[in-house]
């Protein structure tokens, strides 16, 4: 087993079942001391129970690992702070953070109450921000950190009835894109996983046979790699059923229409503008602007 986490401390949010449970178990199996966070709530985020997180802790300790349960809500800033400080106090540091907690309140946008939109964003996007904000100083001080954010194919590509969920999940990509730059000087790597797995959040959504082909355990290798010493930073990894692929925002070669371009010019050359052949990725906004300025300069002779 070449990837190990001995002496590392990991926090996994939403780890009382499904994907989070699988991440916590595997991190512990590879030597990490794990905080298992779970509010124990229903899919929509209501109610709560301490039993779910403790059950996972019991699994880990029964196998000889070290773990502690936490029941704070990631959507509560003080709860996020307590969670991180408890992990640091109990185990001595915070090295790895897997932001996995989530809720669903699906409905078409026309019928969705804005409170339901905000609740999903508060857990998925702001919940990840809250816990990361609390953990970041520990990682910065020790010169090491691994942060995994959970995006989704819904955020990347869309899914009917999930505008709230999709907005939150793509927002996490934007969060990653800048945090990877700010964390680099401190040895902190930040990535997104976009999992496809059969969990209670997907019950009844997929065609027959999909659940057996997409158990949550088959996402775990991607997350373990992203938590490792040699993992990348700033990547989005799709993972499900043994399938793994990097996803990226790409830009085509575009067209330089000149400073006097009109809307009609855009319409006339839109096929060229929209062509993603030879698509490029950019490491940050400065690289993007530099490349575009060079393209404009070269086109003007």
The residues annotated with a catalytic role in the active site are: 165
Give the list of residues 6+ apart from residue 57 with CB closer than 8 angstroms, or none.
36, 67, 68, 69
The end-to-end CA distance of the chain, in Å, is 56
- C-beta pairs of 268-277 under 8 Å, 24+ apart in sequence: 276/250, 276/252, 277/252, 277/253
CA distances from 64 to 18, 32, 59, 138, 182 (A): 21, 11, 9, 27, 37
70, 83 contact by CB (below 8 A): yes
Record the tokens describing residue 34, joined without a space. 């794990």
Q: Chain centroid to CA 95: how far?
A: 16
Distance between CA atoms of 19 and 151, rounded to whole angstroms? 13
Give the list of residues 6+ apart from residue 162 with CB closer than 8 angstroms, or none.
104, 106, 154
Give the list of residues 6+ apart from residue 132 with CB closer than 8 angstroms, or none.
97, 99, 147, 149, 179
CA distances from 201 to 236, 259, 271 (A): 21, 50, 39
């Amino acid at each position: 087993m070449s990837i190990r986490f001995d002496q590392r401390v990991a926090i996994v949010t939403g780890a009382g079942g499904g994907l989070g449970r699988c991440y916590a178990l595997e991190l512990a199996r590879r030597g990490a001391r794990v905080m298992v966070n779970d509010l124990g709530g229903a899919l929509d985020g209501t109610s709560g129970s301490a039993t779910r997180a403790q059950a996972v802790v019991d699994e880990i300790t029964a196998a000889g690992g070290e773990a502690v349960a936490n029941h704070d809500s990631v959507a509560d800033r003080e709860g996020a702070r307590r969670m991180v400080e408890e992990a640091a106090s109990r185990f001595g540091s915070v090295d790895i953070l897997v932001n996995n907690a989530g809720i669903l309140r699906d409905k078409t946008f026309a019928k969705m109450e804005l409170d339901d939109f905000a609740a999903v964003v508060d857990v998925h996007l702001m919940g990840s921000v809250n816990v990361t904000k609390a953990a970041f100083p520990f990682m910065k001080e020790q010169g090491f950190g691994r942060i995994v954010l959970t995006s989704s194919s819904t955020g990347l590509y869309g899914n009917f009835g999930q505008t709230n969920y999709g907005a939150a999940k793509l927002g996490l990509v934007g969060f990653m894109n800048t945090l990877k730059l700010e964390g680099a000087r401190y040895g902190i790597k930040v990535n997104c996983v976009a999992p496809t797995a059969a969990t209670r959040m997907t019950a009844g959504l997929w065609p027959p046979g999909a659940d057996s082909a997409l158990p949550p355990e088959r996402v775990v290798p991607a997350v373990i790699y992203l938590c490792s010493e040699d993992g990348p930073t700033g990547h989005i990894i799709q993972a499900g059923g043994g399938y793994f692929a990097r996803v990226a925002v790409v830009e085509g070669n575009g067209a330089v229409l000149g400073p006097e371009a009109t809307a009609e010019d855009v319409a006339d050359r839109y096929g060229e503008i929209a062509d993603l052949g030879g698509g490029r990725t950019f490491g940050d906004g400065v690289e993007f602007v530099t490349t575009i300025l060079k393209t404009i300069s070269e086109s003007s002779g």
